[in-house]
A and B are shown apart, each in its own frame.
Chain A
């Protein structure tokens, strides 16, 4: 399959071709790629693309996967509706 047909980040429709272009342009950390491409910023919060992105960075920069710093994990663990949060807030008032 051609790089332009391989999806790395499903939430943001980011292809392997786009990711590789960014890495080659000097965005060689997960945090930097995330900020210029939204990779990992969608509803799944990088659960699918994170490992794939590590592999792409490793293959282009020559680093081993262990050397690549993971993205900062941010709450919540999964999506929560604002309405649910409001109910929770009201329940302990």
Chain B
């Protein structure tokens, strides 16, 4: 552990950092260190809703999500760590309450079907067959994709980390990055609370803290944190198969395999700071949003609420790739709330980039240069 050099230093022990470490090691790049300030999955990963869906409005997101889900399907066997990622593949049901949304969903479905994603536009009655306790008042249509689902974010992260360690990756938890040294526009070292690591490649996978980590290397990233809150109920017998999403109400609601319901909503007035405490009004507003749509959940007791950070980018799309003008500084940041579900493919792509291969998908549209060029991507289906 006292070795003070590494081929790649990964900043952040969330799912993106751990997945990338694994895919790097799998490709033969095993001289890798993951540096995590707290414990693995302690940041945005362990606080996320952990839904995984392919129902997106942008081709890029559909492709990234589809490949990630394919990887998640066989991840327990591939990583073989004894941990179960608890992939519940029972679909996502997305509800549409106005004509504009129906039109958007029709476009999304056409796009998704063209990419072989098994999604369908369905009627309110068909939606009720899938979720019998759904109140269909005011519902015009829905889309359903049976291969979307939900995963345990803790065991998924730990599985990647354990598999990476088995291949030789070093994981330093409770270790804070305090600085990044740059010489002649090249990364040369990372300073941590447990010593300096000489390296020519740094990977910023620090989620809600991406901007601060960028600043350590003199890089200005157009990302900012935004708090999102979630609650979980007591566990009950199996009631709801798919994740239910209403962009109209802005909520998502899933029953985990364990039996508890996990739900959250996007609040446009949320704090855009590094705050992960809960607000008193969240639980009440959550009840107001979810109960008209899923009335029997009124009987469930909320046992816990928590908060985490989305890392927002200007167009709610991730920023992937090596920093122009700073050789060896790589980012996978700004996932804007859908980083967890894209982690496997992100890990593969970043591992390809950092090991000098051509990425197997064209990720140039996700480069940071799109903001200067004004080539913003707009995803219409974000909670």
Bound complex: CA of A62 vs CA of B169, how far in Å? 28
A31 → chain B closest CB, angstroms: 6
Q: Inside 8 A of A35's CB, which chain B residues have their CB?
A: 41, 46, 154
The answer to whether A82 touches B304 (Cβ under 8 A) is: no
- Min distance, Cβ B156 to any Cβ of chain A, angstroms: 11
Chain A residues positioned under 8 Å from B286 (CB to CB): 82, 85
A36: chain B residues within 8 A (beta carbon): 83, 154-155, 158
Chain B residues within 8 Å of chain A by Cβ, number? 33
- Contact status of A81 and B288, CB under 8 A, knowing A35-B154, A38-B258: no
Check A83–B302 contact: CB distance below 8 A.
no
Interface of B is mostly: mixed
Q: Are B298 and A81 in contact (CB under 8 A)?
A: yes
A77 and B43 CA atoms in complex are apart in Å by 23
* Min C-beta distance of A77 to chain B, whole Å: 10
> At the interface, yes or no: B79 with Cβ under 8 Å from chain A?
no
Task: Choose from A29, A38, A76, A89 the contact partner of B287 (Cβ within 8 Å).
Answer: A89
Interface size (A, Cβ < 8 Å)?
Answer: 23
Residues 227 to 276 of chain B near chain A (Cβ within 8 Å) = 233-235, 258
**Residues of A contacting B298 in the complex (Cβ-Cβ under 8 angstroms):** 81-83, 86
- Complex interface: stretch among A2-10, A41-49, A52-60: A41-49
A36, B41: Cα distance in complex, Å: 11
User: Is A32 in contact with B39, judged by CB distance below 8 angstroms?
Assistant: yes
Is B61 positioned at the interface, with any CB of A under 8 Å from its CB? no
Distance between B347 CB and nearest chain A CB, rounded to angstroms: 20
A80 touches B302 (CB 8 A): yes
Which residues of A in the span 11-46 have a Cβ within 8 Å of any Cβ on B? 29, 31-32, 35-36, 38, 41-43, 45
Q: Would you call A42 and B303 a contact (CB within 8 A)?
A: yes
Cβ B39 vs Cβ A29 within 8 A: yes
The answer to whether B305 and A83 have CB atoms under 8 Å apart is: no
CA distance A90 to B291 in the complex (A): 12
Given contacts A80-B283, A89-B287, 5 further A-B contacts (CB under 8 A): A31-B39, A42-B235, A45-B304, A81-B299, A82-B291
Q: Which residues of B contact A (CB under 8 A)?
A: 39-42, 46, 83, 154-155, 158, 233-235, 258, 278, 280, 283-288, 290-291, 297-306
Q: List 21 A-B contacts (CB under 8 A).
A: A31-B39, A35-B41, A42-B234, A43-B303, A45-B303, A75-B304, A76-B304, A79-B302, A80-B283, A80-B301, A80-B302, A82-B286, A82-B298, A82-B299, A83-B287, A83-B291, A86-B288, A86-B291, A86-B298, A88-B284, A89-B287
Top 10 closest pairs, chain A to chain B, by CB: A83-B298, A79-B301, A89-B284, A85-B287, A35-B154, A86-B287, A82-B287, A43-B234, A74-B304, A32-B39
